[in-house]
Amino acid sequence: MKTFLLMCWEYFKTGLFAVGGGYATIPFLREMSLRYGWFTLEDITTMVAVSESTPGPVGVNMATYVGYSMFGIPGAIAATLSLVAPSIIVICIIASILERFKQAEVVQGIFTGLRPAVVGFVLSAVLSIFLVSLFHIDAVQSGGGLASLFNWKSILLFAVLLGVKTWKKDLHPIALIAAAAVAGIVFAF
């Protein structure tokens, strides 16, 4: 029960401070992984892949994924509600206040200041996914050689999909996601 409540609290904090959408939750997931060991850093890439492949917001899908993997359906529901509760609370508070103060310089300054923070969160998420997906940092730390640093299958898939997207610019992103999912299943990523 203690772990269940801790998971809910961590997702509540994530929902409160992960400004910028689902990818902004990834640094928080990374911290949970390192602090509690509920999932590995490689599991985060799986979460992102599954969350990208399923309908709905990425952050909510990842919370549902973790909650389900830890505590089944009750965990999925609790993690999802814990993640979205702060947004609902904050939106209700802001909506009631903002209409009166939306032209105030302080409010405009707050929104201007939040923009770089959101960009930083998203860039942090992109860098984390990039590093975990294409490199085996833990292999080098455990004494493996430089060749073990690279996740060659992922690098090859990345290069092929990047080449296809560059060659065929009008290709829909869903086709690339589906191709990556099939490659992951066929080649056992």
HEC profile for 28-81? HHHHHHHHHCCCCHHHHHHHHHHHHHCCCCHHHHHHHHHHHHHHHHHHHHHHHH
**3-class state of residue 39 by DSSP:** coil
Q: How confident is residue 144, by pLDDT bands cut at 50, 70 and 90?
A: low
Q: How confident is residue 129, by pLDDT bands cut at 50, 70 and 90?
A: confident
Mean pLDDT of 159-188: 88
Write out pLDDT tens, residues 56-79: 788 888 889 889 988 999 999 999
User: Quick one: DSSP state of residue 21?
Assistant: S
The pTM score is 0.57
- CA 138 to chain CA centroid, nearest Å: 20
Average pLDDT, the chain: 85
pLDDT (0 to 100) of residue 186: 87
Copy the structure tokens of residue 29: 């997931």
Q: How confident is residue 140, by pLDDT bands cut at 50, 70 and 90?
A: low
In terms of Cα–Cα distance, which of 90, 89, 86 is closest to 59?
A: 86
Q: What percent of the chain has pLDDT over 90?
A: 18
Cβ atoms 117, 49 nearer than 8 A? no
In terms of Cα–Cα distance, which of 86, 89, 103 is closest to 28?
A: 86
Cβ atoms 153, 187 nearer than 8 A? yes
User: What one-letter code names the amino acid at 179?
Assistant: A
**Does the structure show a pLDDT above 70 at 139?**
no
Mutual angle of helices 105-134 and 26-36, in 10-degree steps: 60
**Does the structure show a pLDDT above 80 at 21?**
no
User: What one-letter code names the amino acid at 129?
Assistant: I
Taken in order 47, 126, 117, 41, the sign of the CA dihedral is positive
